[in-house]
């Protein structure tokens, strides 16, 4: 006997840190209660390359569900393989006044009134923050592993129709950004006139992925670690924050005002490095030895 399954919904994960938009190491795990609902409705959850799809068993006409549910709310636990890296590259704050911490979890919820059946324009889901032990969400939901948060889908249209078309969702993560601070250590005394030293960003000429950013020299070094050995430390800071991105920012050059280039491609911040808090701003420090 031929068994027919039709798609009920597609949910894709997106993260603008990654060049292809697909986050690495994120999994969606249905809770035990949701698995029971799916089994009762003769439904299956299958992985997509970056997300999941839910299918229902259809009759001989390949459309009508064998088990018709009037409503369906599903919950998924969101787990992450490398939480340290993910938390560094991802903006997990809900707002400047409601910041992510180890006592918080992410909660994504859809709105049936924003129902979409267009895969090119899915309903985009953004998170709020909840207490890590909120019983309304976390009860019987722990999948093990590195739990990041939860997804709750009230499936169907705003008038309650569950099987009308294929529902399309996008669960969106935003990349973090920081000010880049270069601390140039004149280790070999190659720099003879520190007042002529500049950092010029030419990455906009080499790559359409980035806009050039101005780097401003700070009058005094913010870190005098090189001074103990008699080495000069010259500090530059980006005028604007720069978003983290999987593809390195090219052609940030250390040079003299007259055009002599000391370093053609300065290193980007290490995505795994701890960010420094400078007032309300985040900074990435990069030491450069010349």
Q: Is the pLDDT of residue 228 over 80?
A: no
For the chain, which residues make up each domain, given as ranges?
4-173, 177-289
The pLDDT of residue 267 is 94
Question: Which of 5-9, 183-187, 196-200, 257-261 comes out lowest in average pLDDT?
Answer: 257-261
Q: Is the pLDDT of residue 237 over 70?
A: yes
**pLDDT tens, residue by residue, 134-153:** 776 655 555 566 899 999 99
Q: What is the 3-state secondary structure of the chain?
A: CCCEEEEEEEEEEEECCCCCCCCCCEEEEECHHHHHHHHHCCEEEEEECCEEEEEEEECCCCCCECCCCCCEEEEEEEEECCHHHHHHHECCCCECCECCCCCEEEEEECCHHHCCCCCCCCEEECEEEEECCCHHHHCCCCCCCCEEEEEEEEECCCCCCCCCCCEEEEEEECECEEEEEEEEEECCCCCCCHHHEEEEECHHHHCCCCCCCCEEECCCCCCCHHHHHCCEEEEEEECCCEECCCCCCCCEEEEECCCCEEECCCCCCCCCCCCEEECCEEEEEEEEEC
From 289, 274, 290, 288, select the one nearest 215 (Cα to Cα): 288
**pLDDT tens, residue by residue, 67-99:** 999 899 999 999 999 998 899 899 999 987 888
Q: Is the pLDDT of residue 207 over 80?
A: no
Question: Which of 9-18, 49-58, 196-205, 240-249 comes out lowest in average pLDDT?
Answer: 196-205
Mean pLDDT across the stretch 205-221? Answer: 78
- Sorting pLDDT into bands at 50, 70 and 90, what band is 274? confident
The pLDDT of residue 280 is 79
């Amino acid at each position: 006997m031929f068994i027919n399954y039709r798609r009920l919904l597609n949910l894709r994960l997106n993260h603008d840190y990654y060049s292809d938009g697909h986050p690495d190491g994120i999994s969606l795990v249905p809770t035990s209660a949701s698995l029971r609902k799916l089994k009762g409705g003769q439904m299956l959850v299958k992985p997509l390359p970056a997300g999941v799809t839910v299918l229902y068993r259809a009759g001989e006409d390949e459309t009508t569900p064998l088990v018709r549910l009037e409503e369906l709310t599903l919950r998924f636990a969101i787990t992450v393989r490398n939480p340290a890296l993910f938390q560094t590259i991802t903006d997990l704050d809900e707002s400047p006044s409601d910041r992510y911490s180890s006592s918080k979890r992410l909660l994504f919820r859809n709105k049936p009134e924003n129902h979409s059946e267009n895969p090119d324009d899915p309903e985009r889901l953004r998170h709020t923050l909840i207490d890590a032990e909120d019983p309304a969400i976390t009860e019987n939901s722990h999948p093990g592993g590195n739990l990041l948060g939860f997804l709750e889908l009230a499936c169907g249209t705003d008038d309650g129709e569950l099987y009308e078309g294929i529902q399309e969702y996008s669960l969106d993560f935003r990349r973090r950004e920081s000010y880049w601070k270069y601390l140039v250590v004149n280790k070999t005394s190659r720099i003879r006139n520190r007042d002529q030293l500049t950092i010029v960003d030419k990455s906009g000429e080499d790559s359409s992925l980035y806009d050039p950013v101005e780097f401003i020299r700070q009058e005094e070094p913010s870190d005098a670690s090189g001074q103990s050995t008699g080495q000069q430390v010259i500090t530059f800071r980006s005028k604007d924050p720069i978003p983290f991105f999987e593809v390195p920012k090219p052609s940030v050059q250390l040079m003299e005002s007259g055009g002599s280039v000391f370093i053609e491609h300065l290193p980007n911040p290490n995505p795994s490095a701890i960010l420094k808090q400078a007032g309300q701003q985040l900074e990435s420090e990069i030491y450069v030895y010349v």
